Amino acid sequence: MTEQTQRVFSGVQPTGNLHLGNYLGAIKRFVEMQDSYECIYCVVDMHAITVWQDPQELSRNTREVTAAYIAAGIKPDEHIIFNQSQVPQHAELAWIFNCVARMGWLNRMTQFKDKAGKNAENSSVGLYAYPNLMAADILAYRATHVPVGEDQKQHLELARDIAQKFNNDFSKSIKQAGFKDGFFPQPEPLILGEATRVMSLKDGSKKMSKSDPSDLSRLNLLDDAETIARKVKKARTDPDALPSEPKGLDGRPEAANLVSIYAALSDQTTADVLNEYGGQQFSVFKPALVDLAVEKLGPMGAEMKRLMDDKTYIDGVLAKGGEQARAIAEPIMDNVKRIVGFIRAK
Which residues contribute to the site for ligand AQP (CB under 6 A)? 12-13, 15, 21-22, 24-26, 148-149, 151-152, 196-198, 207-211
Please say if 115 is a catalytic residue.
yes
**H or E element at residue 82:** strand 80-83
Comparing CB distances to ligand AQP, the nearer of 80 and 148 is 148
- Least Å distance, CB 52 to ligand AQP, is 12
Residue 269 CB, shortest distance to ligand AQP, in Å, is 17
- Given the residues 165, 210, 286, 320, select the one marked as catalytic: 210
CA 252 vs CA 205, 231, 247, 259: distances in Å: 10, 19, 10, 11
- CB within 8 A of 53, min separation 6: which ones? 15, 61
Distance between CA atoms of residues 152 and 280, nearest Å: 34
Catalytic site includes residue 202: no
Bridge partners (DSSP) listed for residue 40: 9, 80
Comparison of 84 and 196: residue with beta carbon closer to ligand AQP: 196
Q: Per the residue annotation, which of 28, 115, 231, 296 is the catalytic one?
A: 115
Query: How far from 93 is each of 70, 193, 215, CA to CA, in Å?
Result: 28, 31, 37
Minimum distance of ligand AQP from residue 280's CB (angstroms) = 25
Is the Cβ of residue 116 or residue 241 nearer to ligand AQP in the bound state?
116
Which residue minimizes CB distance to ligand AQP? Answer: 25
Nearest to 313 by CA among 66, 79, 73: 66
Residue-by-residue DSSP string for 119-172: GGGGS-HHHHHHHHHHHHHHHTTT--EEE--GGGHHHHHHHHHHHHHHHHHTHH
118 labelled catalytic: no
Least distance to ligand AQP, CB of residue 68, Å = 11
Query: What's the rounded Cα separation, in Å, for the pair 103 and 153?
Result: 19
Residue 231 and residue 203: Cα distance in Å, rounded? 13
Q: Cβ of residue 243: shortest distance to ligand AQP, in angstroms?
A: 23
Bridge-based pairing of strands 188-190 and 80-83 is: unpaired
What span, in angstroms and rounded, lies between the C-alpha atoms of 330 and 241? Answer: 57
84 or 209, CB closer to ligand AQP?
209
Rank residues 167 and 231 by Cβ distance to ligand AQP and give the closer one: 231
User: Catalytic residue positions?
Assistant: 115, 207, 210
